[in-house]
Amino acid sequence: MKNKLVLVSVDSLQSGDLKAFLNLPYMASVASELSVVKNVREIYPTLTYPIHNTMITGVHPTAHGITHNQRLSIQPENPDFNIMGSNWYWEKSNLKVPTLVDAVIEAGGTAATVLWPTTAGEKRGFNVPEIWPEAGEDPRELMERTASPAVLDAYYQRFMSRYDWRSPIDFAEYSIDIAADILQNHKPDLLLCHFAHLDYFRHDYGVYAKEAAYALRMMDVAIGRLMKAAKDAGTWEQTNFVILGDHGQINIRQIFNLNNLLQKYGFIRCGDNGKITDYDAYSFSAGFSTQIMLRNPEDGEIKKRLHQILLDMQAEFPEYIDRVYTADEAMKEEQLMGDFNFVLEGTEGTLFANDLHEKLIIPYGTPEYKMYRATHGHHPSKGEKPPFIAFGPGICPGNHIDHGTMLDVCPTLAALVGVDMPQMVGNPFPILR
């Protein structure tokens, strides 16, 4: 390979963090070597799984196939870790195009992934997939099915068997230990790490809460550990480091329960127990946007009636609904296509939830409010943008660029490791030697 690459995704790192982050001890130690793209425009929606797969494929969600964190479903079971439920796009088999990992391995290199989205089932190299047991599922059996044999042999008993699988923070903490060990002892050509600490704290406490500042310091220490691991491995001089965010977050001002209205208009029918018995249309939240699916997408009359009612809702609630996209408009304007027929974008701070039986509008701070403090899933025109930070033998130091796009991330990464990925639609950031 041209050089080795360590890619660290700090989930929800955003441009407003840069001043503090780059002055923390380990980041400050490489300050003179850094190049930075301050504001990287995301893709739509600004969710973790669509964006992470754009990072390592170089294409829009429509092309790589991951248009949401989770598959759209009615009243999803086991809503652990997320307002939307289970059934995440965990498995690599969901991807429609090759990834940077594929390109490196096919070029004769070695690759490792630690909690990177949509890697479950990848058996090559060292793969610790981002996946967790659902109710009653045995963690060991889950890892045997989804992690690589090398990871299972080296790390299950030592680290993963000790996870508290119901604690996202515990899950994330051990990932740092595993990533550092892989880097030091196995020296992969490519290491992808996804650290979600900052995202968790922002969700729970707010965008710039003191807990988020603490998480930022945790991330500096984690990156410092990876830097030390590369030095201990003797690969420091040949290793490029990229640290980037996937999306920003926005504090929530209110919840808007769109399914409440869809039920009122007869698109959702429930039995005496409150469970859905039948539906024509259902809103599946993506956070600050929502994707609306039809039970029968070929029913033109239902689709036409629903479209008009959604436009009427926007006119009635302009302080909550910013935009109504048809599927064709979402594809044409945002390169977003999936198992939905409409997309609604909320106004800044309006979270769509999936509830049918709660109040239509629940302001933050009221007794009925029981959601996060902050989230994402918004249009890329809103909120702070994630940064891209790089240093190493392939990076020209001292470049500070104000704007870029998420589609330019993969071309930059591919150039750093020296692989060709013909499907990519962007261009490398102008920071390379």
Q: Are residues 164 and 44 in the same domain?
A: yes
Provide the CATH number for the domain around residue 395: 3.40.720.10
Please check whether residue 78 lies inside any domain of the structure: no
Show the low-confidence residues of the chain (pLDDT under 50): 78-84
Helix axes 48-57, 409-417, angle to 10 degrees: 40
Please give the structure tokens belonging to residue 78.
């086991």
Q: Are residues 268 and 393 in the same domain?
A: no
Domain holding 116, by residue range, is 4-59+97-249+384-417
Q: Are residues 222 and 308 in the same domain?
A: no
CB-based contact 384:15 (threshold 8 Å): yes
Give the model's pLDDT for residue 78: 47
- What torsion do the CA atoms of 212, 218, 222, 223 make, to the nearest 10 degrees? 60
DSSP 8-state class, residue 296 = S
Q: Are residues 138 and 111 in the same domain?
A: yes
Q: Are residues 263 and 391 in the same domain?
A: no
Please check whether residue 51 lies inside any domain of the structure: yes
Give the model's pLDDT for residue 300: 95
Q: Are residues 302 and 408 in the same domain?
A: no
Please check whether residue 147 lies inside any domain of the structure: yes
Closest CA to 390 of 103, 30, 52, 12: 30
pTM over 0.75: yes
Give the model's pLDDT for residue 80: 46
Rounded to a whole number of angstroms, the CA Rg of the chain reads: 22
Please check whether residue 16 lies inside any domain of the structure: yes
Helix/strand/coil for 359: coil
45: preceding bond cis by omega (within 30 degrees): yes
Q: Are residues 162 and 38 in the same domain?
A: yes
Please check whether residue 76 lies inside any domain of the structure: no
Q: Are residues 148 and 276 in the same domain?
A: no
**What distance lies between CA 151 and its chain's CA centroid?**
23
The per-residue pLDDT for range 271-313, each reduced to its tens digit, is: 888 888 899 999 999 999 999 999 999 999 999 999 999 999 9
Q: 234-253 burial, b if ≥16 CB within 10 A, otherwise e?
A: ebbebbbbbbbbbbbbbbbb
Please check whether residue 345 lies inside any domain of the structure: yes
Q: Are residues 231 and 307 in the same domain?
A: no
Give the model's pLDDT for residue 86: 67
Quote the number of domains for the chain. Answer: 2
Please check whether residue 231 lies inside any domain of the structure: yes
Q: Are residues 36 and 141 in the same domain?
A: yes
CB-based contact 95:118 (threshold 8 Å): yes
Q: Are residues 328 and 179 in the same domain?
A: no
Q: Are residues 182 and 233 in the same domain?
A: yes
Provide the CATH number for the domain around residue 279: 3.30.1360
Q: 28-37 burial, b if ≥16 CB within 10 A, otherwise e?
A: eebeeebbbb
Place of tokens 């830097």: 227
Please check whether residue 84 lies inside any domain of the structure: no
Helix/strand/coil for 336: coil
